[in-house]
Structure formats: structure tokens, C-alpha cells
Chain A
């Protein structure tokens, strides 16, 4: 058996393991974000949105659907990897991979794959719920799909790095609570940044989630506040940087080997 074939099997094994893990506990992993997003649709889209009218020339409910789907994907891709990796460290079953001939880059890609799968599973479920409130129209399936997959990959890597450094269960909730959620809420999920004063528009430009939400919204509605290429560049740049950091940490054994 060649190394490439062996590595391919190992990669698939990690993905299957991860998918089975979150599927087994779907009441904790899939259902809550679907209910939360359903409430957002009802309250922000249905009740408040009816009074807001249009945003960027689009019905408010239709405007927030892509952002809410993206918000669910981001938080779930992140949460999946950080909790799975930290649990495997905490319970020490990460050692199953560490003693085996699985290269570190495959461990990263495997966990990332698991995070993408959870992100997409939740994203699909939220999209289905959104159909009760907004007709599904996809302007560019290629853009929508590529942006959602790349964004899930980015936040899976971020979750992995959080998991590598985490030393307690508190450590795995700090970043989602104090960094991820504020950035997502301020990332143009509920509004167009053209509504903001010039100063805050400038500040918002430093929020990478803004570009992801906008690019994803373009995939659905065909409107965006930024160049699509800028969005892709930022997402891919972050992916490469985070992958490099994660690989360095695992190669050095930081957080996983003494």
C-alpha cells in the first residue's frame, strides 16, 4: 500500500469519525442552531423586518437569510473542531492519532473536514428553515458554495488552534463568546455597512467576517458591498495563515506533547 493511499484512508477515517461524533449527538449539535436561527427569522425578519422594509433595495427578510446561514456555519464549524479536539486531548484519545503514522497535516485536514461537514449540515438545516420565511433564490451557486465551504474551513482551523492551546473547558468558550459572536453580529448579518457612519464603516473593514457574509450574500442575492475577489483573497489568506500556524503548533508538539 502506498503512503498516499494509506494517508487517504486515514483522512477519510478522521472525517467519518468526526461526522459520526456530531451526528450521534445531533440534539446538541444540529438542533440548537436551527432553533436559534428560526427565532431570528421570526423576530428580526418577520416581526421587526416588516417595519424596516428594504435593505440595499432588498426585502429585509431576504437580506438577512444569507447572513444568518453564514453565522450558523461559522459558529458551528468553529465549535465542532474546538470541542472535538479539546475533548480528544482531555480524554487523551488524541493519542490514538499521535502514536499512529498519521502526519500532522492530515490531522489538521481531518479535523477541518469534520468542521466543514458540521458547518454545512447546520447551514443546510438553517436554509431549509429559511424556506418558511423567504423563497430560495441563488444568484450564483458556485460563489455561494465556495464561500460557505472556505469560510467553514477558515473557522474550523481557528477552532483547532483554540483547541490546541485550550487547557480547560473554559478556554474553549472564551473565543466564541468574546470574539466570534461580536465579530459576526458586527459583520453585516443584519445590516448593510452603508448605513454606518464613515468612521464605523472604516472600522468594519477590519472585520474579516464582513467580507465572508457579503460574498455569501452575493451568491444568494447578487449584491455585495465589496469586490468578490477581495473577499476570496481575504478568506484564502486567512486559511493559509491559520493552516500554517496550526501545522507549526502540531509539529512543535505544543499543547499535545510534553
Chain B
């Protein structure tokens, strides 16, 4: 079976001389939920825009489910659904019409398109807004409208460029569940996001891009094994007067009721609790100080820049 996405030696140099992509290779397997991460200006959106034929590449090749963009452009386009980063629908059109028109561009007859639009508007909780002008929707609704629009022709590959930016946590989680569901139904998904918790929750594989180059391409699980040390925040049940001197542990006192502990990967958390218990320190809750993936992401980007 051909790969959902296959990119080879993709380069892009803009007219102003900016070298946005420096020969990237990327494979995404069918059915994958893939994260494409990178700092701002790293080349994520350029990559996505080239895949979606919105930006002309300088060199290299891109194929979607075996359809090369240079040789079988229209077949490739039929396989792709795009949710761009910025709102790009006609704000003066009614919601359902936006979806019906989009379906029409893919050759779906108007009658069938109205039904298709109904299905996705219902699934994304926008059915009540179907006759409203798109400009009247809230930010979260606009994001969901763009997802519905990208799905209306039922693509095999869905690319979402920061789909939950500016969306409240409740809607974000419902969108996560929706994306998980369509991925389980067989749709391959590529996601870019600045919420690394989102990538860790949803994605199985990951590529990190920086300065137009892929600096990491692996599974999320494989990536997390590279994490050598984690920082935990410990909430104490009783105020702590002074920081205990526990051999083998790196502790910091944040305030009377909070400690931070740097724990190496090979060190058991049980030993820390035993030692804290011996000092009479009771921990009522604990959490990671930063998202694990976020820690790794920063580490890799820093390492890549140091090189």
C-alpha cells in the first residue's frame, strides 16, 4: 500500500531569498496520527502549503497515497483535506453553503453535498448555525467549520495546521475526541500544534522540523524514552520549614507547601517517597512540572541550533 504521504528532498526558497525548506524527507503511513512539530518559522506551514498546492515547491517530490503532485495533481488533491491555520472561508456566506460549495469543487452533486454537509455539521455541533453567516460564529465554531469543510469530500489524508489555536479547553477536548474517532475510521491525520500535550495525547508518530530541516522523526513512545530526567512538582500536606538534605535526590523548595524534584530516568520514584516519608514529609499530590514532550522538544530544538 502506498504511503499516505511521501516527501523526498523537498526544498523551498522564496523570492526574497528565504530558504524555508532545505531538502526534507518525510513518510507518513496510512492510518497514522502524525505530529509535525517545530518552532514558529521552522517550515511547517510551508511544507503543508506545498502539499496542498498553495505554494510552489522549488525542488523535490511530494506524493499523496502514491499520487505524485507533479504527475497526478488532481488525483492527489482528491485524497487531501486541509484545515489551515488561519480562517479562510467566505465570512459572508452561510455555514452550510460553505460546505456544499466545497463538496461541489470535488464533484459531489449538490443534493448529495447538502446531505454530506448536514452530516458533518451535526457531528461537529454546528447544525444549529447552518443558516448563519460564517462571520457570526465564535472562534471555536470557526475552527470546527474548517474541519467540517475539510472533511466534506471524505479525504483519506487530513492535515490540520494548529486546529485548536485559541479554542477553549472544553471544545479542544471534544475536537480531540472527534479527530481520534475519524482516525480510527481510517483517516490518516497529520497535525501541527503548539500544544505539545495535544500531540502527546493524539499522535503515534512525530517529526520535528527546525530551520527547514527534519531534526527528529520517530514514534512518540520512542521519543519519550530519550527523556533522561523529569521534574516533578510535589504538593505537601503540611508546611515545610526547611529543605531536607536527602542524599541522591535533587530537591528545591518552591514555597512552604511545594517542592520540586529532578528525577533521573533510572531512579525509582518509590525511593524518593521512602526518603521523604522518613523525614516526615507527606506528599498529597504530584505532577510533571512541564509536559514531557515539551521538555524533549525544547531540548532537541536547542541541540539542533547548537549544531
A14-B102 Cα distance, complex, nearest whole Å: 10
State whether A93 touches B74 (Cβ < 8 A).
no
Q: Which of A1, A9, A16, A100 contacts B77 (CB 8 A)?
A: A100
Range of interface residues on A (Cβ < 8 Å): 20 to 34
What residues of A have a CB within 8 angstroms of the CB of B92 in the complex? 21, 24
Contact B88 A92 (CB under 8 A): yes
Tell whether A97 is near chain B: CB-to-CB under 8 Å.
yes
Q: Is the CB of B54 within 8 A of A98?
A: yes
Q: Say whether, besides A9-B108, A99-B80, A92 and B86 are in contact (CB < 8 Å).
A: yes
Q: Is B78 part of the binding interface, using a Cβ–Cβ cutoff of 8 Å?
A: yes
Q: Chain A residues with Cβ under 8 A from B93's Cβ?
A: 17, 21
Indicate whether B104 reaches chain A with its CB closer than 8 angstroms: yes
* CB-CB under 8 A for A98 and B53, given A9-B104, A9-B108, A10-B107: yes
List CB contacts (< 8 Å) of B1-37 with chain A: 14-15
B91 at interface, CB cutoff 8 A: yes
Task: Collect the chain A residues with CB atoms within 8 Å of residue B153's CB.
Answer: 100
Q: Is A257 an interface residue, CB under 8 A from the partner? A: yes
CB pair B105–A95 under 8 Å, yes or no, is no
Give the residue of B15, B52, B86, B105 whose beta carbon is less than 8 angstroms from that of A102: B105
Nearest-Cβ distance from residue B18 to partner chain A, whole angstroms: 11
A34 CA to B235 CA in the complex, in Å?
Answer: 75
Contact B97 A20 (CB under 8 A): yes
Known contacts A1-B107, A6-B106, A101-B74: does B54 contact A13 (CB below 8 Å)? no
Q: Tell me, yes or no, whether A51 is within 8 Å of chain B by CB.
A: no
B126 to chain A, nearest CB (A): 17
Q: List 7 A-B contacts (CB under 8 A).
A: A6-B107, A9-B110, A12-B104, A16-B110, A92-B86, A102-B105, A258-B15
Residue numbers of B with Cβ under 8 A of A are 14-15, 49, 52-56, 73-75, 77-78, 80, 82, 84, 86-93, 97, 101-102, 104-110, 149, 153
